[in-house]
Structure 1
Amino acid sequence: MLNRYDPGDKVSATDAAVLAEALKLHPEADEKIGPGIKDFSVRSAEFGSKCFWVNRTDGTTAKFSHTACV
């Protein structure tokens, strides 16, 4: 899924639904979700890679590893 997006892209509603369920399984889910999920985006990460970011309802963001969710 990550490879379908470029840094700066907003994740589609269909993929966001899958990510929201996966994020619930993250070891730091409560911290990552915070006050609630607005949507997801893809941004650059360390070492030239890219990763998913959760955009929260209060305007804050947090990156997360999708591999930590499985």
Structure 2
Amino acid sequence: MHFAKRGDAVAYLNAMLHRYDLGDKVGADDAVILRAALDRHPEAEQKIGCGITHFSVRTADYGTRCFWLNRTDKSTEKFSHTACIYGT
């Protein structure tokens, strides 16, 4: 996917985040997009770790919702979709 502006990409991912209920596993098509976005995260290597089995939507700090990656070793890690786009 390509977006004319970074803000458009953030808006797309934010809409995706809110399409899911808390605790839901992210669908396969959306997971492909999330993986591509995650590759742009400034801490992508540390976040991915030993590998990803799937993504989910859960709560994060202060009751906000966030994407989480679920690793092959059963550990989980939250990540900011805005950091994937803006690199911060």
* TM-score, normalised relative to structure 1: 0.96
Residue segments in structure 1 that go unaligned for 5+ positions in a row? none
RMSD: 0.6
> 2:27: which partner in 1?
12
Alignment of 1:18-33 (within 5 A): 18-33=33-48
Pairwise CA distance, 1:5: 0.8
Aligned-residue sequence identity (percent) comes to 64
* TM-score, normalised relative to structure 2: 0.77
Q: In 1, distance between residues paired with 2:73 and 2:63? A: 28
Q: In 2, distance between residues paired with 1:3 and 1:30? A: 26
Q: Which has the larger radius of gyration?
A: 2
Pairwise CA distance, 1:46: 1.4
> 1:45: which partner in 2?
60
Pairwise CA distance, 1:38: 0.4
Pairwise CA distance, 1:48: 1.7
| Higher share of residues assigned helix | 2
Q: Which runs of 4+ in 1 moved over 2 A?
A: none
1:24-46 CA-partner distances (Å, limit 9, x unpaired)? 10000000000111000000111
Q: In 1, distance between residues paired with 2:78 and 2:58? A: 8
